[in-house]
Chains A and B, each alone.
Chain A
Amino acid sequence: MIFFFLLLVLVLVAQVAELFIPSVPWLYDAHVYIVPVIVFYGAMALPFPLMLALALYAGVLLDALTVQVIGGKVEISAGSSILLYGVLAGIMHGLRPLFARGHWEVHCILSGIFTSLIVLAQYLMITFRRGSFVFTREIWWQIAGPGIVAMLMAPILFWLLQWMGRITAYPYGPERRQFE
């Protein structure tokens, strides 16, 4: 349980930190998203109800910081990030046995792909509202970029979170077969 609360704190810290991290200029100004990687790790490490709670919490924070109300209209309705996190974390949760066997690489790659999927979903929603469905090279890179950054960050973050799990005596992790 301590580990779950630790993840909640980390999600909050990461969400605020994202506001101060500059975008990556050599990757078409791709933004750095840390929260999805933490949520996806949580999806693998936590039991189903706690995974949903973490996805809900991260989704609420993301909605609060990204949803824009302009001229009395909402572009992306509140709750959409909760739904996105819920579905993607659910898929990740389904792949727990792979992680328990020590296959980190699949989840690192998936963390990147899912991060890009969140950005893509946001883009599709605003495109639907604003009209003119366009996909330029810059747009593709701004969707793929955060995923690539997340994929590169994932091994380090996973290792750190794994370490935190150990020091808080959380009984789950790769090479530990009791959950299989």
Chain B
Amino acid sequence: MSRTNIIALLIFGAILGYFLSFGPSTTQKFKASVYQMLSPFFTSGSGIKRQITSVRTGLKSLDQLEHENATLQVENRELRATNQGLRDVEHEVNRLRHALNYRERSVFKLIAAEIVARDSSTWWRTVSINRGKRDGIETDMPVVTDIGLVGKTTTVSDGISVVLLISDENCRVAASVEGSREQGIVSGERVTTGLTPLLDLNFLSKQADLKPGQKVYTSGVGGVFPSGLLIGAVKSYRVRELDGQAQLTPTVDLSHLEDVFVVTGRR
């Protein structure tokens, strides 16, 4: 091995050792600074993705039109394209109106945020939102929609925050079951496939006997999540050796999230 290679290897080893020596707070700061640096890419990437999705949807409509009526193809294309554009606007207006209503009637202080990126890694379920420290967001703040609980913030940089979704195994939420005195801990599953991830409600009593459809809310224990936020509905219940476990379907469609609210406190 040449001298240059040995020096390069030593430098590599030194930098590697430096990174490996990071504690949790240093790692958090390092992660936040990289997210801050990449935030322009996140925002523009999110915009490009929306445009691509919109174009793809438009093309699908054109295909259908070609089959439906060959003679009115050109005219239909124009009409479809206009409709598509209007539908997008209508969808956005409805979405924002819905969000505004929720924000006004909510008992929490909420900060509206848009999802700009999803986690590309296999083992973590996170999304990035376009709000950060400068908007008053801190670590471990609950994230919700008007329908229910989404997750909590983990890494927060100036303009971007990472939200750990409730479908992640590490996001643990103290929960209570509607119509019973049962309490447990909700967490995601390590591996989920398909569009609808399931949640596990653990540490229930063996006599719980929960019925499908029963709603599960945050109990407020633990300090991160306020009580009364809807998490999901019971899908199935089983008795294990020491406790009972229920599988829940999350109320919020986590795979199609667009807008969320960060809970910064109570009014």
User: Hey, which bits of chain A sit against chain B, CB under 8 A?
Assistant: 16-21, 25, 28-33, 48-49, 52-53, 55-56, 60-61, 63-70, 72-75, 77-80, 82-83, 86, 119, 122-123, 126, 130, 134, 136, 138-139, 142-143, 146
Contact = CB atoms under 8 A, between A and B. Distances in A.
Interface of B: 4-5, 7-9, 11-12, 15-20, 22-24, 26-28, 30-31, 34-35, 38, 41-42, 45-46, 48-49, 117-124, 126, 128, 154-155, 162, 164, 169-171, 190-195
B111 to A, nearest CB: 21
Nearest to A76: B123
B38 to A, nearest CB: 6
A78 B123 contact: no
B152 to A, nearest CB: 9
B154 A28 contact: no
Contacts of B5: 48-49
Contacts of B31: 64-65, 67, 69
Q: Which among A69, A77, A86 has the greatest number of chain B C-beta atoms within 10 A?
A: A69
- DSSP majority for the A interface? helix
B24 A65 contact: no
A75 B170 contact: yes
Given A56-B12, A119-B123, A126-B190, 17 more contacts: A17-B45, A20-B46, A49-B4, A60-B19, A64-B31, A65-B121, A69-B28, A70-B170, A77-B22, A78-B30, A79-B18, A79-B20, A80-B20, A126-B123, A139-B191, A142-B193, A146-B122
Nearest to B13: A86
B120 A19 contact: yes
Given A56-B12, A60-B19, A79-B20, A138 B193 contact: yes
A82 B24 contact: no
B191 A67 contact: no
Given A19-B42, A20-B45, A49-B8, A66 B121 contact: yes
Nearest to A63: B19
Contacts of A65: 31, 34, 119-121
A18 B120 contact: yes
Contacts of B19: 60, 63, 77-79, 82
B51 to A, nearest CB: 12
Given A19-B45, A20-B49, A77-B20, A68 B193 contact: no
Given A19-B120, A69-B155, A82-B15, A136 B126 contact: no
B22 to A, nearest CB: 4
B193 A29 contact: yes
A64 B154 contact: no
B154 A69 contact: yes
A53 to B, nearest CB: 8
Contacts of A73: 24
A72 B24 contact: yes
B163 to A, nearest CB: 11
Contacts of A134: 190
Contacts of B154: 68-70
Nearest to A73: B24
Given A69-B24, A73-B24, A48 B8 contact: yes
22 contacts: A17-B45, A19-B119, A29-B194, A33-B120, A48-B4, A49-B7, A55-B12, A60-B19, A65-B31, A68-B154, A69-B155, A70-B164, A70-B170, A73-B24, A80-B20, A86-B12, A122-B122, A123-B123, A130-B169, A136-B191, A139-B190, A142-B122
B189 to A, nearest CB: 10
A52 B117 contact: no
Contacts of A86: 12, 16
A36 to B, nearest CB: 12
